Structure 1
Amino acid sequence: MMNAVQSQLVTLSGVHASRLGNEREIYVYLPEGYDSEPSMRYPVLYMHVGQHVFEPSKPSGESWAMHRVAERLIAEGLIRPLIIVAVEHKYEEGTSEYFHELCAYPIRCLGESYEHFLIEELKPLVDRTLRTLPEPENTALMGSSAAGIATYNIGLRNPDTFGMLGILSPFFVQVNPDTLAETLQYRFYPVNAGQKIWLDIGGAEGFFMPEHVRTVAEGMLQRGMTQEDELYYFMDGQAAHSERDWNRRAHMPLVHFFGTKGAPTGVELQGPDVVGIEGPQLFLNAVVSLSNGLSYSDLQGEYRIEDSGILEVEPNGRLRPKKVGATRVYYRCGSLEASREIAVTDRLSGTVEVEIEIRVPESTPDDAAVYATFEVPKRGKGLYAGTMHLPRGLIFDFLITRGYDKEEVDRDYGQIPYRRLVADEDKKVVYTVENWIDLRTEAAQERNDRQ
């Protein structure tokens, strides 16, 4: 299995999960030099949804491409060489194995059984088979979305196994798109001294809203974690809930876990231009860029306001409007400074009205349901339309689909088009679907291609 000097991707086949009652493939990245330096041992990063960790999924063509990410960081001297273990996800279980006791959906919560598999069965196998550094300070766990909350639960419950946690775009809250009611899918854990955590969210993830991820990060700091040394939180303002965006920032948790600290090289102050005395609670996002390629959102920032009678800003970026007017806000990190002009109005509505219209091809069955994250009512032959009230400032990239994990729009029979909706004001948006593609057929073909 191991004869080359170059980096390798190998597979451990048919690894049994006793409590889940199934077997799965385990995809492994071995760094360059693994064979030529037989005395060297390596830290290990475990990742969920292993099918997409190294290779692109069909039909989206998206992948984390973690072997490429690791190779670049190692070559640039930003991290030490590591092993990456990617655990195949069993699609027939949906997301059941990623949830513990809190879940807003009517599914089996198999999180503890999956946790048992990772800790009691897979990790011992990996440590026996490969030259690992098995201690928690050399063992990381990482995932996104539902796999992000799996990382959160499993990692915080087992700090004696996983000393580093990469929690990207975690599925912390389920939001009812009709009522905007929120159901929490997480709980707070005691913090574990010395455990390193990367926690992030995109600003264009729609109902995967930054406020809940920020709340968890703030709670970790309040309970004793240290920003930068142990915890980095990052709100990536333009990022969507997609593998292409997770790939784009996947290098940062690796640098936090396996690299050295960087020095600030730049700052940017992101956030709203207008805030209401009456209206939704809004935040600034002070982004610090470091010399090692990592960026983070400062939750313990230093702010100065030209006219503090108009507006105040808390260290976590929370805006406190006081009277109508406009003022400039300054953020400082060491010798670096950024600023932003912010206007205060009497009232800013918490929601906006968005009218959506979707035109579909003639091949669409008459009884088809069409979704744009939420279901859009049928209005006539080839036309779906409806009106929704969305939280002001909500941004999301989405696919127009005909059901979860079933059929999604494909403009060119090979590339799925994401749409971006910005709920910044009352508006009407119109989309045209050119083709449909059956994801079940594509997924089956993908499995056949791997066999």
Structure 2
Amino acid sequence: MSNSDQSQLVVLSGIHASRLGNDREVYIYLPVGYDDDYTQRYPVLYMHVGQHVFNPRKESGESWNMHRVADRLIAGRLIEPLIIVAVEHKFEEGTSEYFHDLCAYPIRCLGEDYEHFLIEELKPLVDRSFRTLPEAEHTGLMGSSAAGIATYNIGLRNPDVFGMLGILSPFFVKVEPYTLEEMEQYRLYPLNEGQKIWLDIGGAEGFFMPSHVKEVAEEMLRAGWRQEADLYYFEERDAAHSERDWGRRAHLPLIHFFGGKGEAVKVELQGDDTVGVEGPELCINAVVTLDNEFSFSDLAGSYRSDHPEILEAAPSGLLLPKQPGTATITYSYGGLEASRTYTVVEELSETVDIEIEIHVPEFTPDDDVIYATFNVPRISKGLYGSEIKLPRGMTFDFLITRGYDKDEVDLEFGQIPYRRLVADKDKKVSYTVSNWIDLKPINQLTKEEY
């Protein structure tokens, strides 16, 4: 099979970041047909944490599989062909290269040095070496978690370089697990005319809470960004804080950046359906699905209530309870409607108490630290546990680990199992780990694997 019949992955080794003082690999995706027409130029999407983008160095399978995402969208004519540049993250620096100057951790903030590497060293090399469309309107930047806040800062500081920003599950706010103290790690930027923004979050990411990202999206809309023109926000209710789930929805920002417009074919109201007159705020997640596989959460919705004296909804989806009872909220978009009935109670507590215990194999070293999103202390040989207070409604999909790349594994099925914890009421939860696996880097993705 010739290169013109399939996409290609090119690996650039030893790319030097002068201010960071290190070298890294860069993985370049070239679309089907790249070698057919040497006059054609392509838009470019730069992505952080490159070792997870195409899965070239990870045995676990925790990858975005962006080559497959792009291949499918291009073949279906949902997006134009593009080049993807995946930049390896240097873990010896922790997440320091992804933070500028607002960080709740005691790390060096090397974000400006990493920004210099991307803009002054890597992008000129890519533009010289490949047939790119180098202008900002054709250049995107995308990342998740700490790399999401890096995308936010670098992109909004440099609108003349990056005209499209894919900000997935950004680490805007650090929540201290046992005290629930919140520390912001972002600042607001003024409107950049013409920039396209994608902001999203999963509903099962635990301390990466939808409210944190939604608030930033609403602040940006108030600053002048326009929903459906410049900015889209999306909450995927069952998505975890994982490479797996970021890859599953990576087609959405690609369609926003490189695809055409679609027509609404479905609307849905998601979220909890019980709210207190006193207690935590509750928001409707009004999801609009288009005929081009695109979806977004409407932050400027049209709602009506059959009992406005009991409950109403703001355009943002915020529920406005007034007195106990039941009311049906109806949402309208593009000639489509969806309704949901909500129960209003007098009061709901802001938090719930969770007792968690984790049983681990006897061969687990006594000095190991166990994480279930947060640190779970050792109680005795083979048993870890804790009591923790969590915001009501918080949901975790998580791995039990002994640290980075030391995950729980189910040997019977050969899988790394995700657990789910829903903080819907006071409760005790118990988990048993059957075995551990240490995930080692492999040399490189083979042609057959790609």
Q: Same fold by TM-score, threshold 0.5 exceeded? A: yes
State the Cα distance separating 1:380 from its structure 2 match: 2.3
| Distance in 2 separating the partners of 1:401 and 1:317 | 36
State the Cα distance separating 1:45 from its structure 2 match: 0.5
Question: What secondary structure does 1:371 align onto?
Answer: strand
The alignment status of 1:353 with 2:363, answered yes or no, reads no
| Distance in 1 separating the partners of 2:338 and 2:5 | 47
State the Cα distance separating 1:410 from its structure 2 match: 1.9
Instruction: Quickly say closer, same or farther: Cα 1:57–1:358, change in 2 above 3 A.
Output: farther
**What amino acid is aligned across from residue 95 of structure 2 in structure 1?**
T
| Distance in 2 separating the partners of 1:449 and 1:285 | 39
Aligned to 1:246: 246
Question: What secondary structure does 2:215 align onto?
Answer: helix
**Is contact 1:269-1:284 (8 Å) kept?**
yes
Aligned to 1:303: 303
State the Cα distance separating 1:324 from its structure 2 match: 0.8
| Distance in 2 separating the partners of 1:22 and 1:212 | 33
State the Cα distance separating 1:92 from its structure 2 match: 1.1
State the Cα distance separating 1:246 from its structure 2 match: 0.7
State the Cα distance separating 1:223 from its structure 2 match: 0.8
| Distance in 2 separating the partners of 1:287 and 1:434 | 38
Aligned to 2:146: 146
State the Cα distance separating 1:56 from its structure 2 match: 6.0
State the Cα distance separating 1:82 from its structure 2 match: 0.5
| Distance in 2 separating the partners of 1:16 and 1:343 | 58
Question: What secondary structure does 1:113 align onto?
Answer: helix
| Distance in 2 separating the partners of 1:449 and 1:355 | 42
| Distance in 1 separating the partners of 2:166 and 2:310 | 39
Question: What secondary structure does 2:169 align onto?
Answer: strand
Instruction: Quickly say closer, same or farther: Cα 1:380–1:195, change in 2 above 3 A.
Output: same
Aligned to 1:97: 97
| 1:224-281 Cα distance to aligned partner (Å, 9 max, x none) | 1110111010010110001111111100101000110111110000122110011001
| 1:338-376 Cα distance to aligned partner (Å, 9 max, x none) | 011101111001111111111111101233332212222
The alignment status of 1:84 with 2:72, answered yes or no, reads no
**Is contact 1:104-1:174 (8 Å) kept?**
yes
Question: What secondary structure does 1:97 align onto?
Answer: helix
State the Cα distance separating 1:4 from its structure 2 match: 4.5
1:368-407 correspondence runs (5 A):
368-403=368-403, 405=404, 407=406
| 1:125-155 Cα distance to aligned partner (Å, 9 max, x none) | 1111111100100000000111111000000
Instruction: Quickly say closer, same or farther: Cα 1:353–1:59, change in 2 above 3 A.
Output: farther
Instruction: Quickly say closer, same or farther: Cα 1:245–1:69, change in 2 above 3 A.
Output: same
Instruction: Quickly say closer, same or farther: Cα 1:36–1:5, change in 2 above 3 A.
Output: farther
The CA RMSD measured in Å over matched residues stands at: 1.5
**Is contact 2:57-2:445 (8 Å) kept?**
no
Identity %: 69
Question: What secondary structure does 1:344 align onto?
Answer: strand
Instruction: Quickly say closer, same or farther: Cα 1:427–1:59, change in 2 above 3 A.
Output: farther
Aligned to 2:186: 186
**Is contact 2:3-2:32 (8 Å) kept?**
no
**What amino acid is aligned across from residue 58 of structure 1 in structure 2?**
K
Instruction: Quickly say closer, same or farther: Cα 1:3–1:418, change in 2 above 3 A.
Output: closer
1:40-439 correspondence runs (5 A):
40-55=40-55, 58-403=58-403, 405=404, 407-412=406-411, 414-439=414-439
Instruction: Quickly say closer, same or farther: Cα 1:176–1:447, change in 2 above 3 A.
Output: farther
**Is contact 2:283-2:319 (8 Å) kept?**
yes
Structure 1-normalised TM-score? 0.96
**Is contact 2:202-2:235 (8 Å) kept?**
yes
**Is contact 2:56-2:444 (8 Å) kept?**
no
State the Cα distance separating 1:408 from its structure 2 match: 2.4
Question: What secondary structure does 2:126 align onto?
Answer: helix
State the Cα distance separating 1:12 from its structure 2 match: 1.5
Question: What secondary structure does 1:281 align onto?
Answer: coil
| Distance in 1 separating the partners of 2:3 and 2:330 | 56
**Is contact 1:5-1:35 (8 Å) kept?**
no
State the Cα distance separating 1:411 from its structure 2 match: 2.1
- Single out whichever of 83-92 and 52-61 deviates more from structure 2: 52-61
| 1:91-124 Cα distance to aligned partner (Å, 9 max, x none) | 1111111111011111111100000000000000
**Is contact 2:51-2:58 (8 Å) kept?**
no
| Distance in 1 separating the partners of 2:57 and 2:124 | 29
| Distance in 1 separating the partners of 2:402 and 2:3 | 47
| Distance in 2 separating the partners of 1:193 and 1:448 | 41
Structure 2-normalised TM-score? 0.96
**What amino acid is aligned across from residue 406 of structure 2 in structure 1?**
E
Aligned to 2:34: 34
